[in-house]
Amino acid sequence: MNGMLLIHAFPLDARMWDEQVERFGGVLTVVAPDLPGFGGTASAGPVMTMAAAADRCLEALDAAGLDQAGVCGLSMGGYVALELWRRAPERFAGLVLANTKAGADAAEGAEGRRKLAARLAEEGSWFLVEDPPPLLTAAAPEEMWARVASLLAEQPASSIAAAALGMAERPDSTGDLAGISVPTLVITSDADTLIPQEVTAPMAEQIPGAELTVIPHAGHLSNLEAEEAFDDLLAGHLRRCGLLA
């Protein structure tokens, strides 16, 4: 049986995909797991590696009885999707990489993640809730910002820190792009300041046959801020992969 796997962004949980699960869940099996330590799940320890997150995704596919899936990862979810490709390419019917990148962190970026983890261990996560990273644009509705802040507030500080440390040590996936052999869609947003479109877009040139779409007027969480456009892109790609009629 085939379906779709949705891999969530940092520092939220799988509920960021609620709209996509509702839209597509009636026509195919949709799996949206909480990565280790998020959404009330068990922690993977002091460092949530991308390998541990990929293992959680494989467990979710197995539990749902899915042999293959159209895999969609956004931001950190994209890092996990690329790790999952290295581990189990046979489970992919297609791939969507949204608002993410293939490269590892530069030294400065990795150090910033380690400093964030240390601050989370010392202070908890309220400083992030009160002053979240630019996951949305300034023009996003207040209720959308409130929803994102609420999801962030529910994640344990230790889990956010573990994910930050796991991302800091993740491998460079750029060399894997040329070997991706399933239909692939790369999505970016022209108002994403966390992973700008000029960072995301080159993946489409490196993955054979990949398509690139830039969503206008949306920030990092493009599936939330541009829900209709994102869902339409996802539906078209699922049809391309033979997962939707």
Per the domain annotation, does 28 fall within a domain? yes
Residue 69, φ and ψ in degrees, nearest 5 = -150, 150
Partners of 19 in beta bridges:
none
pLDDT of residue 218: 98
pLDDT of residue 200: 98
Per the domain annotation, does 65 fall within a domain? yes
Could you read off the pLDDT of 230-243 as tens digits, one per residue?
A: 999 999 999 999 99
pLDDT of residue 178: 98
> 94, 187 in Cβ contact below 8 A?
no
Task: Please state the rounded mean pLDDT for residues 85-104.
Answer: 98
Q: Tokens 């240390």 map to which residue?
A: 118
Residues in CB range of 128: below 8 A, 6 or more apart: 11, 120, 152, 160
> 178, 206 in Cβ contact below 8 A?
yes
Q: Is the dihedral of CA 198, 235, 225, 51 positive or negative?
A: negative
Could you read off the pLDDT of 132-151 as tens digits, one per residue?
A: 999 999 999 999 999 999 99
> 222, 196 in Cβ contact below 8 A?
no
Taking alpha carbons only, the member of 148, 113, 119, 116 closest to residue 132 is: 148
| Confidence check: pLDDT of 224 > 90 | yes
Domain with 202 in it: 2-240
Q: Tokens 């400065």 map to which residue?
A: 108
Per the domain annotation, does 117 fall within a domain? yes
Per the domain annotation, does 18 fall within a domain? yes
Task: Please state the rounded mean pLDDT for residues 18-22.
Answer: 98
Q: Give the alpha-carbon dihedral of 192, 228, 74, 8, to 10 degrees.
A: 120
DSSP 49: -
Per the domain annotation, does 245 fall within a domain? no
Per the domain annotation, does 189 fall within a domain? yes
Taking alpha carbons only, the member of 48, 47, 58, 49 closest to residue 85 is: 58
Task: Please state the rounded mean pLDDT for residues 197-204.
Answer: 98
Residue 230, token pair as written in the block: 């994102």
Per the domain annotation, does 219 fall within a domain? yes
DSSP 12: -
Reduced to 3 states (helix: H, G, I; strand: E, B; else coil), residue 208 is coil
pLDDT of residue 245: 86
Q: Is 74 exposed, middle or buried (0-12, 13-18, 19+ CB in 10 A)?
A: buried
Query: How far apart (Å, rounded) are the C-alpha atoms in residues 151 and 138?
Result: 18
Based on the structure, what is the number of domains in the chain? 1
Per the domain annotation, does 81 fall within a domain? yes
Task: Please state the rounded mean pLDDT for residues 195-199.
Answer: 98
CATH of the domain at 207: 3.40.50.1820
Residues in CB range of 10: below 8 A, 6 or more apart: 75, 76, 160, 163, 164, 167
Task: Calculate what percentage of the chain has a pLDDT beyond 70.
Answer: 100
Confidence class of residue 110 from pLDDT cuts 50, 70 and 90?
very high
Could you read off the pLDDT of 201-210 as tens digits, one per residue?
A: 999 999 999 9
Residue 170, φ and ψ in degrees, nearest 5 = -65, 150
